[in-house]
Amino acid sequence: MAGTMGRMYIGTSGLQAHQNAINTTAHNLTNLNTEGYSRQQVLLSDLAYQKLGYTKVGIKQTGLGTRVEETRTTRDKYLDNKYRLQNGRQEFYQTKAGVIDEVQEYFGETEGSTFQDYMENLWKSIQEVQKTPNGLVERTSLVATASSFVNRATEIYSQLRDYQRNLNGEIQSQAEEINIIAKRIYDLNQKILKCEGGKIEAANDYKDARNQALDELSGLISIEIKEQTDGTVNVYAEEHLLVSDDRTFEIGTKPVAAGSDLLTVYWKADDTNVFNLERISVSGDNSDAGSLKGMLSARGDYTPDYTDIPLRENYGSEADYQAALTHFNRTLSNRDISSLIAQFDQLIHGMVTKINDVLCPNITVTDVSGNTYRILDTEKAGKGFGEGNEVQGTELFVRKGVERYQQQTITVLDENGTPVTKTVQVYNEENPDDYYSLYTVGQIQINDALVKDPALLPLTRVNGEEYQAVADELLELWNSDFATLDPNTLVMNDFNNYYSNMVGDFANKGYTYTNISDKQAVLVNEVNNQRQEVVGVSSDEELTNLIKYQHAYNASSRYITVVSEMIQHIIEKLGA
């Protein structure tokens, strides 16, 4: 009789187990279109067995029912990690491509008037001056065209600088978003820990929410996830702990350097930078991931000028030059906006200084004490046209607050070796350590004296004749090589080729980033589809399961009815 009564529990356990399975299936159907939801499965197993004895072929035993072994989510950790890596890379290149697209508009290449038009107008004005060096109309036109050229260059430079600064807001926003998501992951860790602490209930919905948060986080910053035995996860961002068992490590923003108006991202706990931007991001080494890093990489750490591009002639030894080149490649070459600013400034500096050097040529002299000076070459320099304008050394482009020459008295040896004291115009050299001494965009303007009186342009000989050689030399500048676009190459460019290559190279970067981003988007979609095949809810499959579990529930119910009737029959017979 006891064995017979015990059979009731077998049916009861079946009812309980399959009711749980029905509830889980209904939960799957309810969340059919819920973003981030993972399909849940109920695993059933034998509850226990009662040993009755042994036979010649084995153990004689009877089952005591069924139970729910586990209610699990159907996730593939490999696909999750792959998705997050590829998603981070896609966001990295998409961000850089977006920056390139926005910056390209500043040069007007997609509009009617490009900066190259201003360069061509300057060249045409010099052509007209070359035809009639003493023509006042031609000189006035040259000064006006040069002024438009400088104003447009300054405008582009200001727009690029403003764009760099404006990215501060987006950088702060993404840094704060990372902190918010990290806190959400930490809170979900705690909920999972409480829920699964008794090892009775599975916190599957909390884990789904956590996985969705991790997916979001992977688009912002490169992450690595380490799952703990208690069901929680530790999250590392850029190889630094972001979410641990007991806390989150926040990131913040601060100026790149003292006095800088550009922000960088750092760990508040130990005041170290989050990103190592000097590590060149290479596709496949997991260093090119996350939109925040992509933005910082595209922006750069500072606003450079032409002096940040190393020139071999400025270094005393090959070792010094190679060291400068290595520094350039780590800090500037792979910073899209910063490198563009430096290249653009190199172009403007080259055009401005070469035009000035033709109008105001210098020679090098050594005084009796062995000191070397660069002074105005009064034998070669032209003069202004007209009475009262016979002035030498009038440059077209000037530095704000720094004169081209400083009058000084020096003693030199004449051709006979006799000391001669004379007053000369000593050139105020450009000093990379003194921003105001540089012919750099934002620091140059048109000579106000020439704006008031274009006749002062030194294109006239002492006797009043046109100084044709100077005008010819000005025009020849457009056919002469002046610089390489990148110090890593040896290809020299004239002004027009330099500009075309600069814009083309920048556009090619955008094309490359867009191409990589598009390919990454396809890969992300493919991996996500593979994930959905595992975690996605199929209504047909779930309805099939629902019918299966309902039949199993009904079978358990019928089993209980049969056992109940059997017990009733035994009692009635015994009672009789």
Q: How far apart are CA 308 and CA 324, in angstroms?
A: 9
Q: Per the structure block, which two tokens stand in for 530?
A: 């593979």
For 574, the 3-state DSSP assignment is helix
Establish if 147 belongs to a structural domain.
Answer: no
Query: Once rounded to an integer, what is the mean pLDDT over residues 233-249?
Result: 93
What pLDDT shows up at residue 96? 94
Looking at the DSSP bridge assignments, the partners of residue 436 are none
Query: Once rounded to an integer, what is the mean pLDDT over residues 49-59?
Result: 68
Q: Say if residue 70 is in the same domain as residue 175.
A: no
Q: Which long-range contacts (CB under 8 A, 24 or more apart) does 484-490 make?
A: 485/343, 486/333, 487/309, 487/310, 487/311, 487/312, 487/325, 487/328, 488/325, 488/329, 488/333
Establish if 148 belongs to a structural domain.
Answer: no
Q: Per the structure block, which two tokens stand in for 410?
A: 């020096």
Residue 44: closest CA among 19, 77, 27, 74: 19
Q: How many distinct structural domains can be found in the chain?
A: 2
How many C-beta atoms lie closer than 10 Å to residue 285's C-beta? 10
Q: Say if residue 62 is in the same domain as residue 175.
A: no
What pLDDT shows up at residue 69? 65
Q: What is the pLDDT of residues 414-470, one digit of tens each?
A: 888 888 899 999 999 999 999 999 999 989 999 999 999 999 999 998 888 889 999
Residue 124: closest CA among 100, 146, 154, 109: 146
174: pLDDT strictly greater than 80: yes
Establish if 426 belongs to a structural domain.
Answer: no
Q: Say if residue 178 is in the same domain as residue 280.
A: yes
Q: What is the pLDDT of residues 135-162, one digit of tens each?
A: 999 999 999 999 999 999 999 999 999 9
Phi and psi at 316, nearest 5°, equal -75, -25
190 — pLDDT class (breaks 50, 70, 90): very high
What pLDDT shows up at residue 226? 93
Q: What is the pLDDT of residues 319-330, one digit of tens each?
A: 988 998 888 888
Q: Are the C-beta atoms of 27 and 41 separated by less than 8 Å?
A: no
- Of the candidates 266, 285, 301, which is a domain's last residue? 301
Least confident of 55-69, 166-180, 219-233, 536-550: 55-69
Query: Once rounded to an integer, what is the mean pLDDT over residues 179-206?
Result: 87
Residue 152: closest CA among 444, 500, 430, 478: 444
534: pLDDT strictly greater than 80: no
Establish if 523 belongs to a structural domain.
Answer: no
What pLDDT shows up at residue 70? 66
Q: How far apart are CA 313 and CA 317, in angstroms?
A: 9
Establish if 480 belongs to a structural domain.
Answer: no
Query: Once rounded to an integer, what is the mean pLDDT over residues 72-87?
Result: 84
131: pLDDT strictly greater than 70: yes
In terms of pLDDT, which residue wins out, 51 or 189?
A: 189
For 60, the 3-state DSSP assignment is strand
The H-assigned helical ranges of 318-440 are: 318-331, 336-359
Q: Which range of residues forms the domain containing residue 571?
A: 2-74+536-575
Q: Per the structure block, which two tokens stand in for 337?
A: 């906006």
Look over the chain and give the mean of its residue pLDDT values, rounded to a whole number: 87
- Of the candidates 301, 335, 365, which is a domain's last residue? 301
Looking at the DSSP bridge assignments, the partners of residue 445 are 398
Q: Say if residue 297 is in the same domain as residue 172.
A: yes
What pLDDT shows up at residue 348? 96
Least confident of 13-17, 409-413, 530-534: 13-17
In terms of pLDDT, which residue wins out, 203 or 185?
A: 185
282: pLDDT strictly greater than 70: no
- Of the candidates 301, 331, 366, which is a domain's last residue? 301
Q: Say if residue 183 is in the same domain as residue 296.
A: yes
What pLDDT shows up at residue 6? 64
